């Protein structure tokens, strides 16, 4: 009998003495070995589409820290590119895309089955990783949730308040909802192909869910997540799904049932005590240490890590940060966090 992987146990609802741990953006600029491989690739997108180098950077944090999960190295904005949007990254600023604002722009997107042509190197990375990871390490695939991806496609860049996407929603609901429907359909195919290639778990990142309020949240965050998870479960009933409706606040309550997610990932704006009573009662949760501790370290890092492990310790829990680790983080602080979680 092969012992089941710790991440899969947590996702099956098991409470463990030591929670499994991985970290959002664990392959990233805070690691010197990542910066070296990225320099070799030339730029960020070339790194994403080079299966050998993307495999290498995915493995780097596993080698250095022995995390319980590896997350495929790619980006949520590759899907819009596969649908026909122009995409480039401005150094020091972030992503830029061609924008969609009307029916003609929506109609110009490529048909869903065509996405696999652009995304085939990503599936190759997943296949490489399936063969290369240690037997105890779980491979996580991912995609952006339709709302979050749409905010970038509408604005053409990252925005602090998702203003352009909210404006299109209010001014031309048909185009806005049409775009979300196209993204929902394409995300199902993209994640399904990652699972076929060997992803053992998939995660849906709704990084900007928090700016959807009231019934908008239900329609544009919960609704698409439910549709995607339903379709994935019909095809891949044994593959767990993690949903991350970041900054959902009160809307975290009931998100497991409303979407069918096996695990709900928590940002660090919710307190562990509240989340235990209101969210973990429904199933596995992931999170939620503030990523700033990876910069500042010290006794506060150890104390806060211990408090999170303790608070979530009576139910299924995957230890993680509340958002991605930042480039200014100290790699030694990551080791310290892991040592505390594992009881060192
Ligand atoms: O210069 C570099 O090397 C680029 C930095 C970088 C990295 C390391 C970007 C640009 N993307 C990534 C990888 C990435 N992105 C992963 C890989 C796996 C891992 O976690 O190690 C994942 C899962 C993502 C997901 C992603 N991309 C999200 C959702 C999660 C989140 O952080 O909220 C979002 C919103 C993006 C868009 C994006 N890509 C990159 C940047 C800087 C951004 C944010 C842009 C913005 O809103 O300003």
- Shared domain check, 272 and 238: no
Q: Are 311 and 273 in contact (CB under 8 A)?
A: yes
Catalytic residues: 25, 29, 38, 75, 152
Q: Supply 108's token pair.
A: 């110009």
Residue nearest (by alpha carbon) to ligand 1 atom 42: 94
pLDDT at 344: 62
> From the CB of 97, is ligand 1 less than 6 Å away?
no
Domain with residue 90: its CATH number is: 3.20.20.210
- Shared domain check, 254 and 129: yes
Each residue's pLDDT tens digit, 128-151: 999 999 999 999 999 999 999 999
For residue 339, being part of any structural domain is answered with: yes
- Shared domain check, 294 and 254: no
Longest dimension (CA), the chain: 58
**How far is the C-alpha of 74 from the C-alpha of 48, rounded, in Å?**
5
- Shared domain check, 282 and 163: no
- Shared domain check, 332 and 284: yes
Is the model's pLDDT at 309 over the cut of 60? yes
- Shared domain check, 301 and 260: no
- Shared domain check, 102 and 231: yes
Ligand 1 centre distance from Cα of residue 94 (Å) = 9
For residue 57, being part of any structural domain is answered with: no
- Shared domain check, 237 and 279: no
Residue 94 domain boundaries: 72-264
- Shared domain check, 330 and 208: no
Give the helix ranges, DSSP H, for the chain.
6-11, 32-41, 44-49, 51-65, 78-82, 103-107, 115-132, 146-155, 163-171, 173-197, 214-217, 223-235, 255-259, 272-278, 293-296, 298-311, 331-341
Ligand 1 centre distance from Cα of residue 125 (Å) = 17
- Shared domain check, 145 and 81: yes
| Best mutation site among 47, 53, 146, 324 for ligand 1 pocket (most ligand atoms within 8 Å of CB) | 324
Each residue's pLDDT tens digit, 61-72: 999 999 999 999
Each residue's pLDDT tens digit, 194-249: 999 999 999 999 999 999 999 999 999 999 999 999 999 999 999 999 999 999 99
Each residue's pLDDT tens digit, 311-344: 999 999 999 999 999 999 999 999 999 999 999 6
- Shared domain check, 158 and 141: yes
Q: How many domains does the chain have?
A: 2
Q: Are 9 and 317 in contact (CB under 8 A)?
A: no
Where is the domain boundary, 221, 244, 264? 264
For residue 341, being part of any structural domain is answered with: yes
Where is the domain boundary, 211, 237, 264? 264
Q: Which residue has the tokens 């479960």?
A: 233
Where is the domain boundary, 264, 281, 307? 264
For residue 76, being part of any structural domain is answered with: yes
Running DSSP on this structure, what letter comes out for residue 268? Answer: T
Q: Are 292 and 30 in contact (CB under 8 A)?
A: no
> What percentage of the chain exceeds 90 in pLDDT?
98
Ligand 1 centre distance from Cα of residue 24 (Å) = 9
CB count within 10 Å of CB 32 equals 10
Ligand 1 centre distance from Cα of residue 21 (Å) = 19
**How far is the C-alpha of 33 from the C-alpha of 81, rounded, in Å?**
27
CB count within 10 Å of CB 164 equals 19
Q: Supply 285's token pair.
A: 């949760």
For residue 130, being part of any structural domain is answered with: yes
> From the CB of 73, is ligand 1 less than 6 Å away?
yes
Residue nearest (by alpha carbon) to ligand 1 atom 11: 75
Q: 203 forms bridges with which residues in the sheet?
A: 142, 242
For residue 39, being part of any structural domain is answered with: no
- Shared domain check, 236 and 164: yes
For residue 38, being part of any structural domain is answered with: no
157-164 mean pLDDT: 97
For residue 129, being part of any structural domain is answered with: yes
């Amino acid at each position: 009998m092969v012992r089941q992987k710790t991440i899969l146990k947590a996702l099956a609802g098991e409470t463990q003495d030591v929670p499994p741990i991985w970290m959002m953006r664990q392959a990233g600029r805070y690691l010197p070995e990542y910066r070296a491989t990225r320099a070799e690739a030339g730029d960020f997108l070339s790194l994403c589409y080079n299966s050998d180098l993307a495999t290498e950077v995915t493995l780097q944090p596993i080698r250095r820290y022995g995390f319980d999960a590896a997350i495929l190295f790619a980006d949520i904005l590759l899907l819009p590119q596969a649908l026909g949007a122009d995409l480039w990254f401005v150094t020091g600023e972030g992503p830029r895309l061609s924008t969609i604002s009307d029916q003609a722009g929506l109609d110009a997107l490529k048909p869903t089955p065509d996405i696999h042509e652009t995304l085939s190197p990503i599936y190759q990375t997943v296949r490489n990783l399936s063969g290369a990871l240690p037997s105890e390490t779980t491979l996580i695939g991912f995609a952006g949730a339709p709302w979050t991806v749409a905010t970038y496609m509408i604005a053409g860049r990252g925005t602090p308040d998702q203003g352009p996407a909210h404006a299109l929603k209010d001014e031309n609901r048909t185009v806005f909802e049409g775009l979300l429907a196209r993204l929902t359909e394409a995300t199902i195919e993209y994640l399904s192909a990652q699972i076929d290639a060997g992803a053992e778990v998939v995660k849906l990142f709704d990084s900007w869910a928090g700016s959807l309020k009231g019934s908008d949240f239900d329609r544009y965050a919960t609704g698409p997540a439910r549709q995607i998870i339903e379709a994935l479960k019909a095809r891949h009933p044994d593959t767990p799904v993690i949903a991350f409706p970041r900054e959902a606040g009160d809307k975290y309550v009931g998100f497991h049932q409303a979407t069918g997610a096996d695990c709900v990932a928590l940002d660090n704006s919710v307190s562990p005590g509240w989340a235990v009573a209101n969210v973990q009662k429904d199933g596995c949760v992931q999170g939620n240490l503030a990523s700033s501790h990876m910069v500042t370290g010290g006794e506060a890092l150890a104390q806060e890590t211990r408090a999170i492990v303790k608070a979530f310790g009576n139910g299924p829990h995957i230890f993680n940060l509340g958002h991605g680790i930042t480039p200014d983080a100290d790699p030694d602080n990551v080791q310290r966090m892991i040592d505390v979680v594992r009881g060192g």
